[in-house]
Every structure is written in structure tokens, then in C-alpha cells.
Amino acid sequence: MSSPPRPNVGRPGAPGVADSLSSVVHPSRAIARRWLFALLTVTCVAVAVGYVTWTVVRDRASGRSAVSGPVATSAAGANIALVPGGTGTVLFQNAVPGEYWARVGLVPLGGPESPRSMLPLGCLRIHFAAERGLCLAEDGGGFATDGELFSTHAAYIFGPDFQVRHQLALSGIPSRARVSPDGRYGAITVFVSGHSYAEGGFSTETTLIDLVRGDKIVTLEEFAVTRDGKRFESIDFNFWGVTFASDSNRFYATLGTGGQTYLVEGDVGARQLRVLRENLECPSLSPDNTRIAFKKRVGDELGSVQWQFHVLDLATMTETPLAESRSIDDQIEWLDDERLLYGDGTDLWVVSANGTGQPRRFMSKAASPAVVRTASLPPPGVADAAVDTLTLPSTDLALAVSVPPNPARVGENITYTVTVTNRGPVDATDLVVEQSLPKGVSFGSASTLQLASGGWGCSHPDESHVMCDTSVLRSGESWTLGFTVRPTAVGTVGTQVSIYATEPDLRPEDNSTTTEITAAAGP
């Protein structure tokens, strides 16, 4: 899901005030859930068929295949240990159009733009830890064997050889997946109503899975919830975004109710949840278990929710905003104890966990990352297995920015040029020029001064970003844009311009630059 999430507002007509009750499961909530399930079993067939049909049509139109789960389950698959790199591996959903679109890929942790080992799994969401993984995919297969009446999506539990051990039908559209550090438990969140956290009226279901036995254990709605030492209960509770602690029994998740979101701490064995903090979604616990990365609502812009990534120190409960200023819907993955990994719907990005520096692209055309810090030993017969590889050709893009003499006056326009040159050896596709504007500077307009071979267009998704793109910039070609901005406050600020394409860059050091603009007081 790539839309920026919105705090849960519950089902239409549901009470907006949480009640403190003594029962573990509110009777009216249970009834409401049964009514919802009954209604969905009647309507979901038509809705799901329509959704899958749309997906297939969309994928065929773009030359892609549907994300329909395992594409090979009999032959030996590539083992995690086969991927070189020494310090770990990154699993991800490949987003390069073509034969391997939506297939699961592997790259070394130290070489994210190296050739991708492609695996016999096609997944919408994927996660892996300690010899077990979860793959959420379309086309679960109608009538399932685990008690679900009908499903168009499934969860596949697989091992280090990427062979499927178990299959479970899902009751909605996949949203989040997490595996506990020891591989014992998994957590799956699906939309049973709606399809985006950015919209009102959605409903989610989050289920804990025993990955060893391949069984569903419990939904988080069956847990008792407390806030400030008192029972906390409401008919519109929704849960999503689980992250497990190192002991697996303890976990964190998001609770949404009454238009507000909360961080909750859970105990699998005790079936209990405790509210810790407001305004926090999609937590992700650091490898050292001391901090939580999350998304925080920071306002509304043009009718859409605006979010910013933060890190919460669990010892002091202090928050640190991260350098990524875009509003992004993803559950962050910790690359290590100091860096965070996330997807923006097109590429994977990395940013420092201490709030310093700038985000940088980690891998092009990829989503749903999972960092595997300990590799498995390959089972007999797998070590020599052939592995499909996808290698993205590299090019060399160069960025140049020309700014008129400073200072300018507050309220007056400044126009500067941005030139992107493709030095080759191959064409650059899906090229993006991103301009980040700080506070004190407002965006005016963008124009093309030297046209690229592909068409071009620009968008202004929020106050701090302008994005321009073209489908192709051929080898040896340049593309020049003119940007007009207006200082709104006295002082000196830096505007950052960065460029990205599908192809890895041979010399990425000249793909980003910061230019200072000084504004003086008006007449």
C-alpha cells in the first residue's frame, strides 16, 4: 500500500468514544464482527472477483503478471546463504517490469544494486527471520483448508530453501506482514473493509500465526486491552502493524479507535495489550530492542493526511523526527541499529535513525524489504542449484544547478535551472528530478528549457517537495528544467535537488546537490 495512512476512524456509525469495561471481548463488538463477516461472505465474492479481474487486466496492460504466490514449489530454490555479501541479505519484492515483476529477490546487504537473485515466490508483502518466512499473495484459491469460507489471497509460510511449508487463506487484502526474530510467530494484517489507511471507514484484522505448525493462533481483537491500568474497550477497535521483540512473546502494534491511534505493547501468552502512547502507527522495533521507528500524523495537506517518520526511545519515551520529510505509508525495517529502510512505492530508501543527514536511495524498483542478519546453511542438493539473476544495467547521470546572484528579496521570485546529463553507457528510464524546499521558501512553477526524449511532467505533492519526471533520458542527452521559488522569510536556506532513475548509477556522488538561497527584507 502506497497511500499515506490515516489514523483509524472505525466503521461508519461506530461509536467514537472508547468504553472501559470489565469483559475481555465486548459482546456488541463481537456481534458487529460476526455481522461484518456474514456480510463479507456474501459480498466479497463479487468484490474480490472484481478486484482480481482489475489486477489481472492492469498487470496484462503493463506487461506484468499477477502476484499469485509461488510460481515453483517442486525444484530446489535459492538458499539465503547462496547470496554473497558476508554481513547479511535483503529480501524484497522486485518492481522492475518484465518477467520477474513482483517476484521475491535477494541482494547482499552491502551491495543493494548488485545483480538480484530471483526466487520462486511472487508476493505482495514478504518478511523473513530465523529460517521461516511469510509471503502474502493474491489468488489464495477459493475454498481453503483452514476453515475460511472463501479467499482470494493467501499467506504462504516458507523455509530457507524457499519451499512452501504451509498455506493459509486470508480474509482480506494483504497490508502488513512480520516474522518474530526467532521465526516462531508471524503477524498478518489485512483490510477486511477499505484498502488504505488514508481513508475513513476501513476495518482491519491482525492475526498471529504459529509458523512452526502453520496454524492461526489468535486475532488481536481477542486480546484484553488496558489503558492507564483500566480496561479499554470499544466497538471500533482496529489493529495493524505488529513488530516482535527478541523473545517473540512480547510485541508492539497499532491500535486505532475513535479517530486516534495508539502504540500498544502485547503479551502473546497472556493475551493482553497495554496502551503506551498516542499518535503512533506501524511500529518497528530496533534490533537492540531499545527504540521504535514509526509514522506520526503531523497534519493535513489539501485533504490528505501528512505523516513523518520518527524514532521513539523506549527508555526515555522521547521522539526524534527523521530527515525523510515526505509522507510515506510503509512499516519501516531496521537496516541495522543505526539506519532505517523503507519503500516509497517505487524505490527503497535509507535514512539515519538519529534524525541527521538526508535520505538516500538504497535500491531502485523494489518494495517490502526484509533484512536477514543471519544466513542459513544450504540443505543438501541446494548449494549447487542454479539461481535466476536479474541485472540492471548501470548508467552515469550528472546533475548541475545554476542559481542567480543572491540575495533576493522576500516575496520576489527566483528562477534557477537544473540540468541532468546522461553520460551513458545506457539510456536512463523513469528518471525523477526531486526538489526539496525548506521552510522559508515556497514553490512557484516549473518549466522545461531543454526537452528530453520522453515526455515530462511535474507534481507538487506537498509544501516541501516538487517532483518532475520523464520516461527516458537517452545516453548522451541532457534535460534542463527551470524552477521558480519565492523566499518567504529573511535568512539563508538550502534547497536540495536530487535525481534518480531505474538504473543504478556508476557515480552516485553527483546525483544530489544543495544550493543556498539568501533572502533580504523587502523594500
Q: Name which residue leads in pLDDT, 83 or 507.
A: 507
Domains delineated in the chain: 27-376 (2.120.10.30), 397-520 (2.60.40.1510)
Q: Which three cell numbers stand for residue 482?
A: 527551470
Closest CA to 222 of 209, 208, 212: 208
The helix or strand, by DSSP H or E, that contains position 260, with its residue range, turns out to be: strand 260-267
Q: Is the confidence at residue 310, as pLDDT, over 90?
A: yes
Q: Name which residue leads in pLDDT, 144 or 151.
A: 151
Closest CA to 173 of 210, 203, 215, 142: 203
Q: Is the confidence at residue 326, as pLDDT, over 60?
A: yes
CB 467, CB 331: distance < 8 Å: no
Q: Name which residue leads in pLDDT, 196 or 210.
A: 210
Residue with cell 530453501: 161
- Please give the radius of gyration of the chain, using alpha carbons only, rounded to the nearest integer: 24
CB 294, CB 310: distance < 8 Å: yes
pLDDT digits (tens, 9 = 90+) for 385-421: 556 889 989 999 999 998 887 777 888 888 889 999 9
Q: Name which residue leads in pLDDT, 43 or 128.
A: 128
The helix or strand, by DSSP H or E, that contains position 494, with its residue range, turns out to be: strand 491-500
Q: Which three cell numbers stand for residue 161?
A: 530453501
What are the two backbone dihedrals, phi and then psi, of residue 47, each rounded to the nearest 5 degrees? -65, -45
* Confidence at residue 253, expressed as pLDDT on a 0 to 100 scale: 97
CB 514, CB 495: distance < 8 Å: yes
CB 281, CB 241: distance < 8 Å: yes
* Confidence at residue 295, expressed as pLDDT on a 0 to 100 scale: 95
Q: Are strands 89-94 and 281-285 parallel, antiparallel or unpaired?
A: unpaired
CA distance 457 to 451: 11
CB 492, CB 517: distance < 8 Å: yes
CB 489, CB 438: distance < 8 Å: no
The helix or strand, by DSSP H or E, that contains position 126, with its residue range, turns out to be: strand 125-129
- What is the side-by-side strand order in the sheet with 388-390? 366-372, 89-94, 103-108, 116-122, 388-390
Confidence of residue 315 (pLDDT cuts 50, 70, 90): very high
63-92: burial string, b at 16+ Cβ within 10 Å, e else:
ebbbbbbbeeeeebbbbbbbbebeebbbbb
* Confidence at residue 181, expressed as pLDDT on a 0 to 100 scale: 94
Name the least confident of 196-200, 259-263, 273-277, 395-399: 196-200
CA distance 131 to 112: 21
Confidence of residue 37 (pLDDT cuts 50, 70, 90): very low
- What is the side-by-side strand order in the sheet with 348-352? 333-334, 339-343, 348-352, 360-363
387 to each of 23, 91, 117, 120, how far by Cα in Å? 54, 15, 6, 10
Stretch 370-392: mean pLDDT, rounded? 66
* Confidence at residue 125, expressed as pLDDT on a 0 to 100 scale: 93
504 to each of 98, 359, 392, 507, how far by Cα in Å? 17, 17, 7, 9
Stretch 277-287: mean pLDDT, rounded? 95
